[in-house]
Each structure stands twice: as structure tokens, then as C-alpha cells.
Amino acid sequence: MCFHYQNGEMYAEGVDVKRIAREVGTPFYCYSSDKLTQNYQAYREALAEFNATVCYSVKANTNLAIVSALARMGSGADVVSAGEMYVAMKAGIPADKIVFSGVGKTAAELEAAIKNQILQINAESAAEVRAINEIALRLGIKANVALRVNPDVDALTHVKITTGKKENKFGVDWDDALPLYREASKMEGVRLAGIAVHIGSQLLDAEPFRLAFAKVAAMVRELEAEGIVLDNIDLGGGLGINYNAELPLTCTAYAEVVRETLGSLHKHIIVEPGRSVVGNAGILVTEVVCTKKMGSKNFIVVDAGFNDLVRPAMYDAWHTIQPVSKKGVAPLIADIVGPICESGDVFAKDRIIEPVQAGRLLAIMCAGAYGASMSSIYNFRPLVPEVMVRGGEFCVVRKRTSYEEMLAGHSLPAWL
């Protein structure tokens, strides 16, 4: 295992986590190169029979070292901003392996995507398709466009990360998609490259995928009957991981759904995994500041806050939390909380955990996705270091920001 115990001490691959803490300080993120590789290769192997491109969803974790490691393995990128596109290309991912999604792309972002001649822009409205056409005509470049269709399929996931229902902001309404394809097929600045769908994140059941993919297959056949032939079918991401006691789909089971619903179409398949590539490849290590008791309630106060990992506060998300050094003593029930001046700065409520004292380290597991990438400097707290391990070595791949760096972009008006 990539994060495991040896004689009661947690190791990240072959590196003692306490050693990293001594050298880097806490809190910090730690990523396993080996787990990252295993997760990416699982997709490559499961989809080997298809003409498939695995496009890592950069929003899950934008760290340059992670994106670069995936680029070296042949990964493409799914991006949702010009900034993420910049990171992907800086990491060595070629433009013809980049897909640009997102409901509110600006004209400047669309222009950058068209100039770079990326694999495809997943357009999410008629207005966006028309804007792409105008920009492409001005630039004299034909833009590769897919429509992201909204299939009105319930992903059976958290309300804040479901994206494929009519009430969600994403994609082109299913009933409007065919007319928009017809309109786009006549645009001089557009090359219709594909169709895209993404119904949500942290999916644990195959059935929503099956329903969505079957609807996409039917639309592809209807388009081809009208002479609109597409090269790519972009299936989005969404596979869940095991945070607590979930039973996520395997990549093999996912590939079977792709085979059943889309295999006969013989199209270039694009998948956009994020969480399932990097989620369980990362942990957040934090030090206990103090413990306290309020009535019958135990609190373990740590030096990480929701500015470092916002998922529990934002989504009521569960993360397993483990002592870095296990003593084997009887557990207690406690809330594990951070130092932020907000009552919502709670990582776990009523958690059964081994008692720990000030100075002990805790590891918040499965924090590789939507941890560092969603972090902030709220309470003017520095962004924490990110560390990558490989075998018996580790490297700081993003340093802790200093107060001077945090203020560097500030300026005072003339009247002060």
C-alpha cells in the first residue's frame, strides 16, 4: 500500500511521514507517485480495447508535478479555465489532448483555446457556439467543437456535485441539442468534433452512466442519419472513490458500461477522471495544537483549517482521519476541528479515534482531490506545502507561501 504502517508509524511509500513533518512543517499535503500511476494505468488498461484518450480533470488537483507525472504517462487534460489549460500545456500535455469544458468561458478563454487548436471545446449553450464561430472566423482558424449535452439523468450523488439534471446549470438542454447541432454544422468557423456528457462526481452506481451513455448513443445515431458525423464521444468523469465504506465502481466495470452502450459506434472515446486518479493518492498531515473538553464533548484542535481542506465544511464530506503514530490505546469520541474563526471549521464530528495530545500528527486520508486545488488564504493563512514521494525519496512540489508573498500583489491607494 502507498500509505501504510510499519511498526505503528505511517509511511508514504518508503518515507516516514514524521520525517517529512520535521523537515517541511505542518500542515502539508503528501502525494504518492506510485498510487497516482496505479490509478491512471487502471483507466488505460480497462479502456485498451477502445480508441480512447484519458484526459485527467485538472481541477481535481492543479499541482504542476502531478499534472506533469500524468503527462509523462500519456495523459490528456480536461480543463475548465484558461489557467488550467496553461498548467496542462506547461506540464507537457499537447494541445491535441486537451478538452475545454465549463459553462461560462470568456471570449479571451475561447480565443486561447482556438489559437492553441485544442482537441475540442465542449460548448454548453447556443450563445457559446455562436461566439466560438465568430472568434474562429476572425482568427481564420476552424475551431473543434463538441456540444456538452445535458441528458437529465440523476447521478445519485451529492446535490452540489451533480451536473446532469435539467435544473443544473451545465450543458445544452437535451431537446435543444439536435437543432443546435444542425445550426452549428452550417457555421464556417466550426468543425463539429464530437459530443460530450458529464453527469456528476463521486458516482458509485453504474446505472446513471448506462442511462446517460445510452442516450448519447441514440443521439449520435440520429445525427449520423442526418449526415452529421462526429469523431469523439466525451463521457466526462465522475467515478467515485472509497472515503469511508463506499464500494466504488472499478475501471473494468466502467469500461463494460462503455462497451455495452457505445462499443458498436467505433468512436474515439474521451474520459475525464479526476478524483479517481488523484483522490486516494494524497493525504493532508496536520499537527494537534491542543485538546479540550466542553461539557461531555471532546475536541481535538489541529493546525489545518478549512482553508486547507474545505470539503468537510462545503459538502459534509467524510475523510478517514488516522494518527500518524499509532499507540494502540482505547479510542474516544471527539470532534476534530481546525483553528479558523468559523464554527464550520470541522473535519469530523463525533469521530472514534485514538486519544492524541498536542504535538501528535494526524493524517486526513483521501485528500488528494479537491484539497489543495480548493484551498485559500482565508484568515490570512499561508497555502501549505505539497510534497510528492517516490519510493524512499520525497520532494516539495509547492512550498509554503510567506506573508510577504501573500501581500506582494497588494498596493495602497494614493490617499493612504
Span 198-252, pLDDT tens digits: 988 899 999 999 999 999 999 999 999 999 999 999 999 989 999 998 999 999 9
The domain that holds 175 is classified in CATH as 3.20.20.10
User: ω before 355 within 30° of 0 (cis)?
Assistant: no
- In a shared domain, residues 136 and 261: yes
- Is residue 414 included in any domain, yes or no? no
Same domain, 227 and 311: no
Residue-wise pLDDT for 354-363, tens only, equals 999 999 999 9
pLDDT in tens, 69-106: 999 999 999 999 999 999 999 999 999 999 999 999 99
> What's residue 201's pLDDT?
86
Boundary of a domain, candidates 242, 271, 300: 271
Residues in the chain: 416
At residue 168, the pLDDT reads 61
Average pLDDT for residues 278-287, to the nearest whole number? 98
Q: Which residues of 97-116 are buried (b: 16+ CB within 10 A; e: fewer)?
A: bbbbbbbebeeebbbbbbeb
Residue 59 has φ and ψ, to the nearest 5°, of: -60, -25
**329 shares its domain with 205:** no
Q: What mean pLDDT is reported for the chain? A: 95
Q: Give the model's pLDDT for residue 163.
A: 47
Answer yes or no: do 115 and 234 share one domain: yes
pTM here? Answer: 0.94
Tell me, yes or no, whether 110 and 241 share the same domain.
Answer: yes
For residues 222 and 364, state if they share a domain. no
pLDDT at res. 151: 86
Domain CATH for 298: 2.40.37.10
Domain boundary pick from 271, 301, 329: 271
> Residue 167: what pLDDT?
55
Could you tell me if 210 and 356 lie in one domain?
Answer: no
341 is catalytic: yes
For 33-101, list the strands marked E by DSSP.
52-57, 76-79, 98-100
285 and 170 together in one domain: no
d(C-alpha 229, C-alpha 244), whole Å: 44
Catalytic annotation, pick one of 55, 251, 290, 341: 341
Q: Which residues contact 392 (CB under 8 A, 6 or more apart)?
A: 13, 14, 15
147-196 confidence digits (pLDDT tens): 999 987 765 544 544 444 455 667 899 899 999 999 999 999 999 999 99
In a domain, 82, yes or no: no
User: Quick one: 307 and 397 in the same domain?
Assistant: yes
- Whether residue 170 contacts residue 150, with contact meaning beta carbons closer than 8 Å, is answered with yes
- Whether 43 maps to a domain, the answer reads no
Note whether 107 and 124 are same-domain residues. Answer: yes
State the angle between helix axes of 64-72 and 33-46 in degrees (0 to 180), rounded to the nearest 10. 40
**Overall domain count for the chain:** 2
Q: Which pLDDT tens digit goes with each residue over 251-282? A: 999 999 999 999 999 999 999 999 999 999 99
**pLDDT tens for residues 12-21?**
999 999 999 9
Instruction: Give me the percent of the chain exceeding a pLDDT of 90.
Output: 92
pLDDT score of 337 more than 70: yes
Beta bridge partners of 278: none
What integer is the mean pLDDT of 380-407? 98
Secondary structure, 3-state, 193-227: EEEECCCECCECCHHHHHHHHHHHHHHHHHHHHCC
Find the domain containing 19 and state its range.
Answer: 3-31+279-407
* pLDDT value of position 171: 83
Domain assignment present for residue 66? The answer is no
Q: What is the pLDDT of residue 153?
A: 75
Sign of the alpha-carbon dihedral angle for 344, 348, 354, 359? negative
- Is pLDDT at 334 greater than 70 in this prediction? yes
